[in-house]
Structure 1
Amino acid sequence: MNRRHFLKGAGSAGMLAALSQLSLNSAFADSASDYKALVIVFLYGGNDSNNMIIPYDASAYATYAGVRGALAIPQAQLTPLANPAAINANTMNGVQQFGLHPALAALAPLWDAGQLAIQFNAGPLAKPTTQAQLKTAGYKLPANLYSHIDQQQQWQTTGIAPQGVESSGWGGRVADAVNAGAGTVPPVITLAGNSIFTLGKNTRPLAVPTAGGSFGLSYANTSLQGAVAALAGQTGNTRLRNIDGQIKQSALANSALVNPIVNNATSTVRPLFAGQTSSIALQLMTVAMLIEQRAKLGLSRQVYFVSQGGYDTHGDQLNVQNTLYGQLGNALATFNNAIGSLGLGSNVTTATMSDFARTLKPNSTAGSDHAWGGHHLIMGGAVKGKQYYGRFPQHVLGGPDDTTKEGRWIPTTSVDQYVATLATWFGVTPTQLSSVVPNLASFTNAGWPASVGFMG
Structure 2
Amino acid sequence: MLTRELILHPALAPLQLAWKTRRLAFALGVGWAKPNRSHFKAMDQWATASPSGSGIGWLAATMDQRGSPGPLVALGPSGSTALEGGVALDLQMAPALFQDQEAQFLRPSRAGSNVLLRKMLELELAGNEEIQRLRGVLGPLPAGLDLPRSGLGQQVALALRLIGSGAAPPVIQMAQGGYDTHAAQAVRHPRALSELAEALAAFDRGLQSLKHRPQVTLLATSEFGRRLRENESGGTDHGSASISLLMGDHVPHPFLGTYPALSQLDDRGDPLATLAPPQLYQAASLCVV
Please indicate the TM-score interval, normalised by the length of the shorter structure.
0.7 to 0.9
Please point out which of 332, 335, 351 is paired with 2:203.
335
Are 1:124 and 2:32 an aligned pair?
Answer: yes
| Inter-CA distance 173–365: structure 2 relative to 1 (3 Å threshold) | same
Q: Equivalent residue for 1:195? A: 80
Asked whether the equivalents of residues 106 and 330 of structure 1 are also in contact (C-alpha less than 8 Å), the reply is yes
CA distance in 2: counterparts of 1:231 and 1:149, whole angstroms: 34
Listed one character per residue, the Cα deviations across residues 21-80 of structure 1 (whole Å, up to 9, x for unaligned) are xxxxxxxxxxxxxxxxxxxxxxxxxxxxxxxxxxxxxxxxxxxxxxxxxxxxxxxxxxx2
Q: Which amino acid aligns with 2:273?
A: P
Match of 2:151 in 1: 279
Distance 1:102 1:230, change over 3 A: closer
What residue in structure 1 maps to residue 266 of structure 2?
403
- Per the TM alignment, residue 241 of structure 1 is displaced from its structure 2 partner at its CA by 6.3
Name which of 172, 178, 187 aligns with 2:66: 178
Shift in alpha-carbon separation, 1:168–1:216, aligned structure 2, 3 A: farther
Match of 2:282 among 420, 430, 445: 420
Gaps of 5+ in 1: 1-79, 84-95, 126-140, 220-224, 428-456
Q: 1:122 to 1:247 in 2, by over 3 A?
A: closer
Q: Alignment partner of 1:377: what SS?
A: strand
TM-score normalised by structure 1 residue count: 0.57
Q: Equivalent of 2:92, from 203, 207, 217?
A: 207
How many residue pairs align between the two structures?
288
Paired with 2:81 and 2:107, the residues of 1 have a C-alpha distance of 32
Distance 1:368 1:270, change over 3 A: farther
CA distance, structure 2, for counterparts of residue 237 and residue 217 of structure 1: 28
1:256 aligns with 2:105: no
Deviations 1:74-102 (A, max 9, x none): xxxxxx23x5xxxxxxxxxxxx3432111
After TM superposition, list the pairs within 5 Å mapping 1:212-251 onto structure 2.
213-215=96-98, 218-219=101-102, 228=104, 239-240=115-116, 242-243=118-119, 246-247=122-123, 249-251=125-127
Aligned to 1:154: 45
**Alignment correspondent of 1:447:** none
Tell me how far apart the structure 2 counterparts of residues 330 and 176 of structure 1 sit (CA, whole Å).
33
Matching residue of 2:259: 392
| Residues 141 and 157, structure 2, Cα contact 8 Å, conserved in 1 | no
Question: In structure 1, how many angstroms separate the alpha carbons of the residues matched to 2:130 and 2:150?
Answer: 26
Query: What is the CA-CA distance between 1:384 and the residue it aligns to?
Result: 2.9
**Cα distance 1:251–1:351, how it changes in 2: closer, same or farther (>3 A)?**
closer
1:240 deviates by: 4.6
- Distance in 1 of aligned mates of 2:5 and 2:272: 22
CA contact (8 A) 1:155 1:415 kept: yes
Q: Residues 97, 201 of structure 1: CA spacing in aligned structure 2 closer, same or farther, 3 A cutoff?
A: same
Aligned counterpart for 2:57 among listed residues 150, 164, 169:
169
Structure 2 counterpart of 1:107: 15
Q: What does 1:76-95 correspond to in 2, within 5 Å?
A: 80-81=1-2, 83=3
* Cα 1:317–1:367 shift into 2, 3 Å: same
CA distance in structure 2 between the aligned counterparts of 1:364 and 1:235, rounded to whole angstroms: 56
Structure of larger gyration radius: 1
Kindly indicate whether the alpha-carbon contact (under 8 Å) linking 1:363 and 1:369 is maintained by their aligned counterparts in 2. no
Provide structure 2 residue ranges, at least 5 long, that are not aligned to the other structure. Answer: none
Distance change in 2, residues 1:353/1:346 (3 Å): same
| Contact residue 349 and residue 382 of structure 1 kept, 8 A | yes
SS across alignment from 1:290: helix
Give the letter for the 1:169 counterpart: G
Work out the CA distance in 1 between the residues paired with 2:143 and 2:177: 23
SS of residue in 1 equivalent to 2:175 = strand
Q: Is the 8 A contact 2:91 2:127 kept in 1?
A: no
Kept after mapping to 1: 8 A contact 2:217/2:287: no
